[in-house]
Each structure stands twice: as C-alpha cells, then as structure tokens.
Amino acid sequence: MAEKKSKLFYGWWIVIAGALISGAGVGILINCSGVFIKPVTEAMGYSRGGFTLYTTIQSIVAMISVPIYGEIFRRFSIRKVMFIAATYCCTVYFCLSFATQLWHFYVLGVLYGLANSCITIMAVGTLVNRWFFERKGLAAGLAFAGSGVTAAIMAKVTTAVIVAHGWRWGYRVQALVAYALLFIATVFIVRDKPEDIGLVPFGAEKKMVNGAPPVLLGMTRAKALKTSTFYIMAAGFFFNSMIGMGINPHIVACLGDLGYSVTFAATIFSTVMVIMMIGKVSLGAAFDKIGPVKAGFTVGFVLLMSSVLLYNAGLGTGVAWAFAGFFGFGYATLSVPYSYLTSEIFGDREFSGIYSISTMLSSAGGAVGPVLSGYLFDLTGSYKLVLMLYAICSVAVILLLVTAAKQGKARGYATAE
C-alpha cells in the first residue's frame, strides 16, 4: 500500500479518461451539432424546427434509458458497457452522413439515443463519484472540461470540412474522431472502481475505521423520490438544460441571421467552448469552496446573462464577445453542477440511482430546448421571443436550485444514516 501511495492517485487518470469521454460524447457528438443546422436545412430544404427535432427525439430516448443504465452501471462493468456503447453510437452517428430524407434523421436519432447516456455526463459523473470522496467538484470539472476542448477544435474543423466537402463528410469526420477518443479512454484507462486495483476513493482514507472504507451516508433513492426537494432540484436541472441546449446548437445560425459572417459565428462558438472548458474546472473547484446554495445561484445567473446578451448581440461585436464569455460558463453548468448538487443534497449512499433519475429529467429539458428554439424561430422569424423566455426561465433556475440546496442542508439529507 505504501508503494501505491507514492504514485499519482489513479483517480486522476480516471479524470483524464472522463475528459476524453466527455470530449467525444458531448463535445463532438452533441455540442458540435449546431454547425449542421444551416448547411443541412439549406441543402435539403428542411425547416430548422423540423431538422432539430431529431436531436429532441434522440434526447427523449436517452432520457427514458437513463434509469436503466443507472442500474446497469451498478450491476455490470461500466468499462465494458461504455466500450460497447461507444462503438455502437459512433457507428450510428456515422450513418447520419447517408441520410436522404428527414425521417432518416429521426430514426437514427432514436437509435443513437438508446445508448448515448453511456458516453455522456451520467457515465462520467458516475466514474468520478466512485473514485473521489473529496475534491469531487474539481475532479468533475476537469473531467467534463474535455467537452470544451474538443468542441472548440472540432467546430472549426467541421465547418471547414463542410465548406470544402459538404455536410455529409462533416458527420463522418466527427464520428471517426469521437471513436478514436472513446476507444483510448475505455480500452486503456477506465477502471470500474478503486477497489479493483487495491485503492480507496480519493480522501476516503482520512475517514477509514480499522482499515475499512467509511460508510456512505445519504438517502436511498426510494426515500429521495418521496421528498419535494428532489423534484425542486430536478425542475431546476430541467430548465437549466432546456436553456443551455436551446441556445447552444443555434448560436452559429443566430449570429448568422444577425448579419455576422459564418467565420465570425464559428469563432464565437469555438470561444464559447474554450471558456466552457475553463468554466467547468473553475466552477468545480469553486463549488467545493462556496457550497451548494451559492452554486445554485451561480448556475442560473450565468444563463440569465447569456440570454440577455445574445438577445442584444446585434448591437455590435462587443456584445457578441460578452455573450461568448458568459455562455462559456453557462454551458458549463449543464454538467458539473448536476453531479455535485445531487451528491451535496442527497449524499452518496445511492448516488448513482438518484443521479440517474435527475439526469433523466435534465435530459428532458435538453430535449425540449433545441426544438423549442427551432420552432419559435420558424414561427416568428427570429430568436428574440425564445431568448426572452430563456431569461425568465433562468430566474426560475436560481429560485429552484437555491431552494433545493437550502432544504437539503436544513433537513440533513446528505448525512442520513
């Protein structure tokens, strides 16, 4: 044991694997989907609402499957499940390049949604929670930051590929790059839990009793689902994801409609992704220090500012750059706070079970956002109305998450025995 302590704790390698997984599953296969909206709809003659509906279908299927994977992760090797899911998802995503009818996108959206929960925030959050007893916020922030790095790079790469070779090759390049990252992470780095290699979670040794790991405290999933606090928290997650996913895929199209060049719009998008990477790390570390109540306020505030600034982005490039700064942090809130707040409010006893249900509800919000933005654009001819709606919902996020954090702390859910 002494020899193992002298080495870098393997959990930090898990964080690197998490960065690769989120970089592929979220950064490339989700965050970069917005670069296809204009080229695909213009080439194929689809409405924006009709085209983005496939991402909503995908999210709904993923939402339904999340609780199932929460149980699968508990019973089976998460490493093996993730490898199989990675191979499957990247194959389905590659097939988007062969779509010739709108319904093809819808069918592929269903197929993709069946397994993408295994290569997104739920899987990464579960791994981090298994490997870290302390510093969970920082570890989660670093792991989720991978999605910002890959999205910043691949948004510009994909845009260049689309301009040079068409949108079909854009999907193919993304699928191949994503699979390379997922293969490296799942085959060479991921291990299911620290006990498999003779370790304990980071920080757990401080609370070990007679050489045994500390007993995990918190609520059972059954009890958590009977509290109003869970549904208040989940509602906050729902609206937060709706806002973030409602804005992100439409950034390039929105700025293009305001008269900015596709190059400038892609640069703003890439900047958002870079700042998101910084935001995930800094927010994760900050949450460890400021606690869940202030974390809940921060989550809603940055999205409120993002909505207001994008609404006014037509006033000048300075406003567009300010939007990039705030939304970089705002989009980071679609991952780091969910695992952090779930653990802080309800504890770790049955974290994966509670987290899977809350992720399902946040995924529902993520499913609504893109298509809501698309259809309100089709209805009004601009994104103004939906951005006003998102500003109002951001205030609701603040109220909901702050309330849930205060209730959890006051009622001692996280320390229940």
Domain ranges of the chain: 9-415
State how far the Cα of 240 lies from the Cα of 218, in Å rounded to an integer.
Answer: 25
CATH of domain 9-415: 1.20.1250.20
State how far the Cα of 17 lies from the Cα of 176, in Å rounded to an integer.
Answer: 18
**Residues with Cβ within 8 Å of residue 234, at least 6 apart in sequence:** 357, 358, 361, 362
Residue 213: per-residue pLDDT = 61
CA distance readout (Å), 132 to 11, 33, 129, 227, 348:
7, 32, 5, 26, 11
Contact 25, 182 (CB under 8 A): yes
| The two structure tokens encoding residue 216 | 């995990």
Percent of the chain surpassing pLDDT 70: 95
Local confidence band at 283 (pLDDT 50, 70, 90 cut-offs): confident
Query: Three-class SS of residue 10?
Result: coil
Encoded amino acid at 232, one letter: I
pLDDT, tens digit, 9 for 90 and up, residues 333-347: 887 788 889 988 888
Q: Indicate if the pLDDT at residue 138 is higher than 90.
A: no
Contact 29, 93 (CB under 8 A): yes
Helix 121-131 and helix 11-22, axial crossing angle in degrees, nearest 10: 170
Contact 102, 50 (CB under 8 A): yes
Q: 30: buried, middle or exposed (CB in 10 Å: 19+, 13-18, 0-12)? A: buried
Contact 354, 237 (CB under 8 A): no
pLDDT, tens digit, 9 for 90 and up, residues 227-252: 999 999 999 999 999 999 999 888 98
C-alpha Rg value of the chain to the nearest Å: 20
Reported pTM = 0.74
pLDDT, tens digit, 9 for 90 and up, residues 145-157: 888 788 888 988 9
Nearest alpha-carbon partner for 132 in 81, 201, 204:
201
pLDDT, tens digit, 9 for 90 and up, residues 67-124: 788 788 888 899 999 999 999 999 999 999 999 999 999 999 999 999 988 898 788 8
Query: Three-class SS of residue 347?
Result: strand
DSSP 214: P
Residue 395: per-residue pLDDT = 97
Query: Three-class SS of residue 201?
Result: coil
348-357 as b/e: b if 16+ CB within 10 A? bbbbbbbbbb
